[in-house]
A and B are shown apart, each in its own frame.
Chain A
Amino acid sequence: MAADLQKVLLDAWANGLPFRHFPTLDNSADGVGALDVYLEDQTVVVEVNAPGITQEQVEVELNKDTSLLIAANLPARDEKASYLRRERPEGRFERRLTLPFPVDGEKVQASLAAGVLTIRLPRLASSLPRRIPVGQTAQS
């Protein structure tokens, strides 16, 4: 929220001055919380941008085997420091995903590397499609 307010103020500031150009900061492209979701056979793989976030700051929660919550409290800024630029987001982000099938909470793996959170969610065995053998009626 602080970042949004700051953006509004910065934009207002920029528009009030003769130089109207601002670098294009693409929120979605590499923003904190931007995510990719893949399906690898019977495993959902989620990759989330989480730069500057430590393991302690990130929360991954699975609800009813199909609802995934990813949240993180972004590191607080030093309010006493003097900033020439302050564009990186602050506060908290939350993303909720509905998974394509129920997953096994016991087998979910989450890891953080180079500012990217990777979560692997294998499908719940009981929800795997089951093959029904088709019997043949014996003909006499």
Chain B
Amino acid sequence: MFPETLERGLIPRLPAHSKRVPRADIVDGPNELTLHLDVPGFQESEIEISVDKRVLVVSARPGPVAESPAERKVLLRERARAPLERAFKLLDEVDAEGISASLALGVLTVRLPKRPEPGVRKIPVGLIG
């Protein structure tokens, strides 16, 4: 699996096809990046988030099907209970130690705090006049 980069303007690389890729929004805030992934039907215990060599991997594996009523006839099946996986290469400015995640309403939110860049000072630009 190839990680995608969070770099602005770069095209993510092709991931492995064996797993499905959850849809993502990434918001670039002043102090953190926020990643939102659609993971409907998954429980917290079925989701795994790891960071290795500056690559963030989010995977979700469906647990064993709890109850399967014997008399259940499938009329239509569009939803796939298959593993999800997606990887992102972290920007240098992301502090990997501070990453946190939460799950609500079938959406996984991962917060990636930015490290203040050493030696870089923002100079406010004023208007003359």
Could you tell me which A residues sit within 8 Å of B by CB distance?
14, 17, 19, 21-26, 28-32, 34-41, 44-45, 47, 49-54, 77-78, 81-89, 100, 112, 114-116
Which secondary structure dominates where chain B touches chain A? Answer: loop
Q: Which of B13, B40, B74 has the most CB of A within 10 A?
A: B40
A114 touching B79 by the CB < 8 A rule?
Answer: no
Q: Which residues of A contact B15 (CB under 8 A)?
A: 23-24
Q: Please tell me the size bucket of the interface on B.
A: 35 or more
Interface string of B28-57 (1 = CB under 8 A from A): 110001001011111100000000000000
Q: Which of B25, B43, B105 has the most CB of A within 10 A?
A: B105
Which secondary structure dominates where chain A touches chain B? Answer: loop
B77 touching A30 by the CB < 8 A rule?
Answer: no
28 inter-chain pairs at a CB distance below 8 angstroms, sorted by A residue, are: A19-B11, A21-B13, A21-B14, A23-B15, A23-B86, A24-B17, A24-B21, A26-B80, A29-B80, A32-B38, A34-B79, A35-B79, A37-B76, A37-B77, A39-B73, A39-B75, A50-B106, A51-B40, A53-B105, A83-B26, A85-B25, A88-B36, A89-B23, A112-B105, A114-B41, A114-B105, A116-B41, A116-B106
